Each structure stands twice: as structure tokens, then as C-alpha cells.
Amino acid sequence: MKFIVSSAQLLKQLQIVSGVLNSSNTLPILDNFLFEISDNTLSISASDLETTMKTTIKNAEADEDGSIAIPAKLLLDTLKTFSDQPLTFLIDKDTYGIEIGSENGKFKLAGQNGDEFPKTPSMETATKTTMPSEVLASAINKTLFATGNDELRPIMSGVFCELASDGCIFVATDAHKLVKYRRTDAKAVSIVSFILPKKPLTLLKNSLINDSEVSIEYNETNAFFVFDDIELICRLIDGKYPNYEAVIPKENPNVLTIDRLEFYNSIRRVAIFASKSTHQIRLKIAGSELHISSEDLDFSNEAFERLSCNYTGEDIEIGFNSRYLLEMINNLSSEQINLEMSAPNRAGIIIPQDGISENEEVLMLVMPVMLNQ
């Protein structure tokens, strides 16, 4: 079997799917890319059993159809050193030996039988919907950072998706912070919900292309995404997502409105002097003044800054983990934000005042930390 393909084009496609590869696999075949040739179209797949990603190159010149598993790291490392040129792949179907011919030389490596590569699960009894790529990319960008890493609570390591006829909701939480992102311009025929794992979402985030439609199929076990020349199928996280609405305080009479970047930079500076174990900062709001302070008693470090702000409500003193606050503020793009609070022991809610379209809503929640008076 023989096929010819551009080195630059091949490298680009391999880098898209290489994010699926694990450093240690239970099956040795998963250390390979699966190359499949059919009608001069080259399909390349990578899998870790939970997630499989596939991309295609339509203009490969091939003398016959077939498949071969090629060592991923060896191939990637080799391709990175080439300038753009045609590469000729010669495959021995009996020994699975691979010879790559370039303008200046030949490279030989041992492949494996492509038939041994795990088969992509079939999407039986699947429901289908479509979504603009910008909507999906925005939803992933706004929520992914808030997912948890606790292996004992795998449900919270993914993003909860709820699709309905009036819009879709994406939620992520690690029990300290929570993000709820809603779109009214992406809809499904029936109400359905599932939990998408972090890894496939990261892969989607890195490969989604603007101005394209994403086809999404889902059933009880898998979700299947198709856009441009890319297909991604992943196993959903099994389980019931926590009732996130129950932790969002509905009555928040104390509302601080402040310049996002000014607030962010002030917290960054003050947080340097906070305790390295708690990262605690203190917000004291009275009238139109916001006092941000921190201290680290072990090293006699302390910091204080005063900012002017718009504030309605009673005077309040509340503590937050500075890392969570910074992470959330950094994932917004608005000029002004609202920090809504009800009491020092209740969660604070961050809502952007501008910078979002009329079809989207963003709510970020951060749990307070108890202040030592």
C-alpha cells in the first residue's frame, strides 16, 4: 500500500488529534495513530478508549485502500523537523513495516495491524442537534476552568449540559466556585441533560473553528461531535449532577459595581501578601469605598488597598479565596462587573455588566471563607 501526503498538512491534522493520546496506555495499540485510506481520503484517529478523535485529509494520493497503525510519538517528532514537502508512505501489508520517503532520505519504522485498533462506538438511539461553533466554544471557555479535580467525585470533574427548546445551560463547579452559562440562541427539540468530561471539552476548545456548525449527537452513554473535517466521540460521565440551583442565593441586596480590571489587579497585588495556605483576602465595603486587605501572620506580611466603587446595600465585611476570585474575574471580558452578596457566610455572585451578547447569560458564584476577627 502506498500513499503520498503533504508533510505540513499531515502534521497539522496529527497535532489536532494528538491531544487524545495518554502518556501511559493499558493497550499498546493506543500509542499509535490509526491511518485509514479510502478513495484517496486519509482518515487519522487517536483514542484512549474513553475519547476518540478523527480527522481527514481529502487530497491524499493512494494506490489502494487499507489501514495501518503508526507509532504516534515517533511520527510526530519526525514531521516537526520537515519543511513542507510531499512524503511517500510505503506500507508492507504482511509485516506492517512502514517506509517514509522524503526529498532527502528514507525513514523506516514498525507499524501494527490497523484492524487491532479499538472500534469507535456506534451511536444507537441517538438524539441530534446542531449548534454554532462560537456558542459551544464560548460555553466551554466560560465553564471549563470551574470544574473540579477530585477523583472521588467524578461528576464534578465535568461540565453539566442541559439542552431544551428555550435554550441551553452549561454548569461547572468544584464546590468552591460555580459557573452557570446560558444561551438562548442554541436549542434542542426535547429536554435532555448529560455531563461531558474535561478532556474532550479541552480538545473541542482547541480545535473548534469559527463560523461553522457543530453537529451533536448524544445518547445515554456517549456524545458525538462533528464539525468541518473533525469527529470526536466521548463517553459521558455517569451519575446525577448536584442541584446547582439550590446553592445560588436568590436574594442578594448588597450589590457592588466596579471596574473589572481595576478590581482584578488590586486583588492580585493584595493576594501576594495573603497566607499561602488559605489565600484569604478581606473585602470591606462601606458607602462608595471598597477596602481590600490580606495578612499572613506567620511572616508578618500584610497589604491593604482602597478602591472607589458604586455600592448599594448595608456595610459588609466578607472573606474570599483570592485564587478563586481571580480565576473567575479573569474569565470575564466585561469592563464592569457586579458582585452581589447577601451575608458574610453566603456565596457571592459575580455577573458581568457588559461585554456579552443579548443571547447569553453568565453567573459566577464563589463561596466565602470565614474571617478571623
User: Residue 78: which of 107, 57, 47, 98 has the closest Cα?
Assistant: 107
Cβ pair 188, 168 in contact under 8 A: yes
pLDDT exceeds cutoff 80 at 24:
yes
Residue 173, in any domain of the structure: yes
Region 226-233 average pLDDT: 94
User: Residue 265: which of 183, 212, 322, 225 has the closest Cα?
Assistant: 322
- Its pTM surpasses 0.95: no
**Displacement of CA 130 from its chain's centroid (Å):** 19
Q: pLDDT higher for 17 or 357? A: 17
pLDDT exceeds cutoff 70 at 245:
yes
For residue 241, the enclosing domain spans: 127-245
List C-alpha distances in Å: 45 to 19, 119, 120.
11, 10, 10
Phi then psi for residue 198, to 5 deg, are -65, -40
- pLDDT digit string, tens, across residues 257-280: 999 999 999 999 999 999 999 999
- For the chain, the domain total comes to 3
In sequence order, what are the beta bridge partners of 145? none
What average pLDDT does the chain have?
Answer: 93
- pLDDT digit string, tens, across residues 293-345: 999 988 999 999 999 999 999 999 999 999 999 999 999 999 999 999 999 99
Distance (Å, rounded) from C-alpha 160 to C-alpha 184?
Answer: 17
User: Residue 272: which of 299, 303, 298 has the closest Cα?
Assistant: 303
Residue 268, in any domain of the structure: yes
Question: Helix or strand or coil: residue 159?
Answer: strand
Distance (Å, rounded) from C-alpha 321 to C-alpha 347?
Answer: 12
What pLDDT is attached to residue 48? Answer: 95
What pLDDT is attached to residue 170? Answer: 97
User: Residue 27: which of 94, 122, 119 has the closest Cα?
Assistant: 119
What pLDDT is attached to residue 185? Answer: 87
C-alpha grid cell, residue 259: 471596574
Distance (Å, rounded) from C-alpha 347 to C-alpha 338?
Answer: 14
- pLDDT digit string, tens, across residues 134-161: 999 999 999 999 999 988 899 999 999 9
Q: Which amino acid, one-letter code, is at 321? A: N
What pLDDT is attached to residue 101? Answer: 95
Cβ pair 331, 142 in contact under 8 A: yes
**Boundary (domain end) residue, out of 215, 245, 275:** 245
What pLDDT is attached to residue 151? Answer: 85
**Do 84 and 167 lie in a common domain?**
no
**Do 184 and 253 lie in a common domain?**
no
CATH code of 241's domain: 3.10.150.10
**Do 339 and 261 lie in a common domain?**
yes
What pLDDT is attached to residue 373? Answer: 57
Region 68-85 average pLDDT: 95
**Do 171 and 138 lie in a common domain?**
yes
Percent of all residues in the chain with a pLDDT value above 90, rounded to a whole number:
83
Residue 122, in any domain of the structure: no
Cβ pair 143, 170 in contact under 8 A: yes
Distance (Å, rounded) from C-alpha 166 to C-alpha 163?
Answer: 8
Residue 121, in any domain of the structure: no
Phi then psi for residue 279, to 5 deg, are 55, 30
